[in-house]
């Protein structure tokens, strides 16, 4: 495991090279980098700027992001703020913090607290443009550093959504801040959800459904809110959040309406189709999509965008989630989606995401459905599946989905196994078994149901004592 050092330790090493060995700032920096790398030190969060070590800079080393932060702190104490100078300063801060190492250094020097105080101070001003720049600065600072925001701060950003409903730019930047502050931060997610962020977001979607960037930002927010990504807590509330978004103000139906509204705009459609599967966590939600007529219009979107690989993979993922409902599953098959899947796989056989999604969808449609498996076997799917597995031998995800598809299709009728064995699929599945540990169980299940030789290990035999009662 790599070692970590502070920015101060690194700076001291560079300064020592300059003072003790009379190196130039550039030479001193290169030497320090080389020395620390040989010691297996992780330098990804270290700012490497030779200019701050120049002899022209008297006194201790102060990096630009920290220098700007200190200047902002001085502005806070000034009652007569020069807004032109302040705007230039915050623009310089955003430019500097585009580099994550510099942003991280600013974060450790109270940059977030300083920016937050400015936001509170600017809320009563009439300078919306300056307020927007500071909100954007908070967004840039929080990227990768969501823990800088405290749950108590969320109330302010929720109020911004109410106070500036007529300013689309401030709304957009605020949604981005909220979204970023929730990444790997369960406490902030809970605070925002308790503050009715879902209801506010749904209201914004209805009011500004034609504002593409805002729609995309809210979709991203929903994806973040429904992710169990905070390792510091024992468990998250992703499932409950999915349910809340789907039911709050008829959220699921609103997302479906937006899918129809943007059916010709693949950029927005991609974001909507990323969000939609996250909400399909209950059988009744899948039924709602069916009742809405979602199968029909999504099949049309799928067919109309066969040349677009990302849309194909996203659409198939939506169908896969819908197929958890057996009634909806049959409706997907009868709507002709299987033929479209095969066309998509044929066109994009070199694209791993499409192949993974296509195989996963076929596996879902065949699960618990002999009639669907029978229909699938009347198509060119077996031959296409072999082609997919041969095209992506190094992709564990594609191979895993392919094995699941084989298993779910042949399980219903032993005659289907012969078709696959004639295509020598057993060799491909055995290769998966040997190469991809993450697809180990799926590969064994496929071999078993294909009627091939497979070594099944009994993981527990009870030979070393009984289970405590």
The model's pLDDT over 238-274, given as tens digits with 9 standing for 90+, comes to 999 999 999 999 999 999 999 999 999 999 999 999 9
Residue 28 in tokens: 């001193």
**In a 3-state reduction of DSSP, which class is residue 56?**
coil
Q: In this predicted structure, what is the pLDDT of residue 89?
A: 97
Q: What is the dihedral of CA 187, 193, 195, 200, to 10 degrees?
A: 140
Average pLDDT, the chain: 95
Per-residue pLDDT band at 401 (split at 50, 70, 90): very high
* pLDDT given at position 468: 64
Q: Which two tokens stand for residue 330?
A: 């049959």
Over residues 308-327, the pLDDT tens digits come to 999 999 999 999 999 999 99
**pLDDT of amino acid 20:** 93
Stretch 420-430: mean pLDDT: 96
Phi, psi angle pair for 445, to nearest 5°: -65, -40
pLDDT per position as a tens digit, 151-203: 999 999 999 999 999 999 999 999 999 999 999 999 999 999 999 999 999 99
Contact 29, 52 (CB under 8 A): no
Per-residue pLDDT band for 462 (boundaries 50, 70, 90) equals: confident
Phi, psi of 397 (to 5 degrees): -70, -45
Instruction: Report the pLDDT value the prediction gives residue 452, as an integer from 0 to 100.
Output: 93
Which helix (H) or strand (E) segment is 290 a member of?
A: helix 283-292
pLDDT higher than threshold 70 for residue 465: no
Q: What is the pLDDT of residues 346-372, one digit of tens each?
A: 999 999 999 999 999 999 999 999 999
CB count, 10 Å around CB of 326? 14
Per the confidence metrics, is the pTM higher than 0.85? yes
Q: Are strands 3-4 and 41-42 parallel, antiparallel or unpaired?
A: parallel
pLDDT of residue 55: 75
Per-position b or e across 396-406, b if 16+ CB within 10 A of its CB: bbbbbbbbbbb
**pLDDT per residue as tens digits for the range 110-144:** 999 999 999 999 887 889 999 999 999 999 999 99
Q: Which helix (H) or strand (E) holds 4?
A: strand 3-4
The DSSP annotation for 83-126 comes to: HHHHHHHHHHHHHHTTSHHHHHHHHTTTHHHHHHHHHHHHTTSS
Of 114-123, 333-342, 375-384, least confident by mean pLDDT is 114-123
Q: What share of the chain is helix, strand, coil (3-state, %, to 5)?
A: 70, 0, 30
Task: Band the pLDDT of 466: cuts 50, 70, 90.
Answer: low
Q: How confident is the model at residue 469 (pLDDT cuts 50, 70, 90)?
A: low
pLDDT for 467 equals 61
Host H or E run for residue 253: helix 251-261
Provide the pLDDT confidence category of residue 209 given band limits of 50, 70 and 90.
very high
Give strand pairing partners of 3: 41
**Polymer length in residues for the chain:** 469
- Contact (Cβ atoms closer than 8 angstroms) between residue 344 and residue 306: yes
Gap between the Cα atoms of 73 and 118, Å rounded: 9
Residues 309 and 348: beta-carbon distance below 8 Å: yes
């Amino acid at each position: 495991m790599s070692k970590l050092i502070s920015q101060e330790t690194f700076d001291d090493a560079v300064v020592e090279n300059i003072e003790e060995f009379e190196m130039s700032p550039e030479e001193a920096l290169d030497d320090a980098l080389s020395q620390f790398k040989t010691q297996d030190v992780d330098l990804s969060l270290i700012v490497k700027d030779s200019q701050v070590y120049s002899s022209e800079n008297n006194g201790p080393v102060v990096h630009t992001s920290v220098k700007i932060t200190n200047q902002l702190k001085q502005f806070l104490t000034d009652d007569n703020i020069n807004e032109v100078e302040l705007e230039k300063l915050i623009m310089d801060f955003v430019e500097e913090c585009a580099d994550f190492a510099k942003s991280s250094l600013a974060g450790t020097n109270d940059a977030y607290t300083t920016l937050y105080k400015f936001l509170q101070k600017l809320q009563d001003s009439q300078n919306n443009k300056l307020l927007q720049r500071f909100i954007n600065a908070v967004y840039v600072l929080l990227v990768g550093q969501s823990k800088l925001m405290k749950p108590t701060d969320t109330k302010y950003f929720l109020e911004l959504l109410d106070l500036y409903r007529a300013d689309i730019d401030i709304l957009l930047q605020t949604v981005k801040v909220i979204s970023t502050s929730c990444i790997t931060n369960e406490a902030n997610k809970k605070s925002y959800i308790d503050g009715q962020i879902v209801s506010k977001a749904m209201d914004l979607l209805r009011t500004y459904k034609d504002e593409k960037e805002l729609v995309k930002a809210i979709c991203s927010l929903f994806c973040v809110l429904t992710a169990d990504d905070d390792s510091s807590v024992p468990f998250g509330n992703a499932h409950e959040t999915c349910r809340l978004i789907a039911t709050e103000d008829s959220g699921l139906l609103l997302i479906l309406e937006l899918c129809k509204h943007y059916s010709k705009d693949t950029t927005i459609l991609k974001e909507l189709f990323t969000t939609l599967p996250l909400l399909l966590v209950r059988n009744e939600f899948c039924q709602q999509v069916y009742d809405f007529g979602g199968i029909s219009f999504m099949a049309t979107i799928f067919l109309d965008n066969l040349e677009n690989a990302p849309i194909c993979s996203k659409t198939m993922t939506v169908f896969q989630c819908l197929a958890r409902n057996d009634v909806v599953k049959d409706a997907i098959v009868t709507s002709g989606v299987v033929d479209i899947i095969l066309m998509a796989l044929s066109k994009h056989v070199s694209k791993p995401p499409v192949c993974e999604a296509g195989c996963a969808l076929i596996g879902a449609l065949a699960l618990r459905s002999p009639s669907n498996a029978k229909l699938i076997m009347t198509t060119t799917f077996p031959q296409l599946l072999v082609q997919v597995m041969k095209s992506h031998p190094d992709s564990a995800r594609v191979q895993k989905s392919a094995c699941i598809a084989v298993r779910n299709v042949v399980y219903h009728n032993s005659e289907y196994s012969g078709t696959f064995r004639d295509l020598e699929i057993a060799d491909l599945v055995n290769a998966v078994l040997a190469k991809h540990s993450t697809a180990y169980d799926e590969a064994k299940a496929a071999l078993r149901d294909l009627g091939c030789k497979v070594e099944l290990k009994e993981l527990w035999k009870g030979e070393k004592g009984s289970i405590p009662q």
